[in-house]
Amino acid sequence: MALISTQNDRTDLPLVVMPSIIESMVQPFREALPLLHDIARVRIYDDATLDGDVIVDRCADADAVMVIGFHVDDSMFDRLSDHVRCFSFGGTGVASYIDLSRARERGIAVTNVVRYGDHAVAEHTFALIMELSRRVGRLDAIVKSGRWDGLDGISLYGRTLGLIGFGGIAQAVADMATGFGMSTLVWNSHLHEEAVAAHHVTAVDDLGELLHRSDVASIHLPLTDSTTGIITADHLERLRPGTIVVNTARAEVIEPGALTRRLLRGDLLAGLDVFDHEPLPLDDPLRSVPGIVLTPHVAWRDDEAYRALSVQIVRAIAAFFTGSAFNRVV
């Protein structure tokens, strides 16, 4: 572990700490740090620890904390809230990682980042769809093991894609689906006619109907108070056997336990990048369900997204300490 720090002699400036970071994000953050010159000192620990005690120790004298990859659970929040004035979260669905109501009660600012990785997540969504339909990863393993029997694929051409939510990520997925010759249905509580026309999709008023008509159903809802648990077990019952289900959004938008129970019946295919508990516990039943592909919440991770995310986090902190607001959630 190496420590990256800036303006160490400026003890008059507030301190910003990033207690954990993945290696590939270090350089994009280095490039963004000049935005905090004469505004705040920065201390970055360049390892990706998830140890809560280590994270708290590293943030012991921080005025602001950059949160990437770890959850600020209640214990950590209580231990940091007496001196941290701002949490800057490196993602959009901040409610999954920081208790926003507690932050409001304590007067602690929370920021997030937006539209930083729309194409990254959209591409990962299609990577999951392609793995489930063409099974390239499994075919690679078969050939390398010395076999030549192969596996059958599932055509996407002419099939129906159902998108739950229609923000920037879903719109990018819709455009990709057009290239595959798919037709696209969309359900969203606030759907703009201009977006429907621009992306050549068909709006569906009923979520259950969309799920029933879809050959591939992909979830792209942000996590808010109104979307938590919005997809129910009854909705999932409308899925036809053989449907591909993809979630690169948030697990919490589905009724707790409902998706696992539906997948355990073994008649669906699924690609999941997000889970109720992360990291996914070793005894989670999803690990043993056939016909599903699991990835460790990495849909957002690519080089372009890292650069956009880094700049937004640093800009949000600069705005906080200079008395303005940027991507402010609380």
Q: What is the DSSP letter of 100?
A: H
Centroid of chain to Cα 227: 15
Token pair, residue 296, equals 């460790």
1 pLDDT exceeds 90? no
User: Average pLDDT of 159-187?
Assistant: 97
Determine the Cα–Cα distance for residues 68 and 26; give it in Å rounded to an integer: 12
8 A C-beta contact, residue 263 and residue 292: yes
pLDDT in the model for residue 193: 85
Give the model's confidence band at 181: pLDDT under 50 very low, under 70 low, under 90 confident, else very high.
very high
pLDDT in the model for residue 69: 87
Query: Half-sphere exposure of 273 toward its Cβ, with a 13 Å CA cutoff?
Result: 23
pLDDT in the model for residue 312: 97
13 pLDDT exceeds 80? yes
> Hey, which residues are catalytic here?
250, 278, 297
pLDDT in the model for residue 214: 98
User: Average pLDDT of 260-274?
Assistant: 97
283 pLDDT exceeds 80? yes
Question: 118-294 belongs to which CATH class?
Answer: alpha beta
pLDDT in the model for residue 4: 93
- As to burial, measured by CB atoms within 10 angstroms (0-12 exposed, 13-18 middle, 19+ buried), residue 191 is middle
pLDDT in the model for residue 96: 83
- For CATH 3.40.50.720, the residue range(s) in the chain are 3-116+302-321, 118-294
SS3 assignment, position 125:
helix
Instruction: Say which residue the tokens 């208790």 belong to.
Output: 99
Question: 3-116+302-321 belongs to which CATH class?
Answer: alpha beta
8 A C-beta contact, residue 245 and residue 274: no
pLDDT in the model for residue 281: 96
pLDDT in the model for residue 77: 97
Helix-, strand-, coil-residue percentages of the chain, each rounded to 5: 40, 15, 45
Among 64, 115, 138, 155, residue whose Cα is nearest residue 300: 115
SS3 assignment, position 14:
coil
pLDDT in the model for residue 310: 96
8 A C-beta contact, residue 274 and residue 220: no
8 A C-beta contact, residue 40 and residue 14: yes
Assessment of whether the complete model's pTM goes beyond 0.75: yes
pLDDT in the model for residue 316: 97
Centroid of chain to Cα 166: 15
pLDDT in the model for residue 262: 98
Determine the Cα–Cα distance for residues 187 and 201; give it in Å rounded to an integer: 10
Q: What is the DSSP letter of 229?
A: T
User: Average pLDDT of 276-281?
Assistant: 93
Residue by residue, DSSP assigns 270-292 as EEES--SSSSPPTT-GGGG-TTE
Which residues are within 8 A (CB) of 312 and not within 5 positions of it... i.e. 6 or more apart?
113, 114, 116, 326, 327
Determine the Cα–Cα distance for residues 166 and 158; give it in Å rounded to an integer: 21
Residue by residue, DSSP assigns 241-270 as TT-EEEE-S-GGGBPTTHHHHHHTTS--EE
Average pLDDT along the chain = 95
**CA Rg, the chain, in Å?**
21
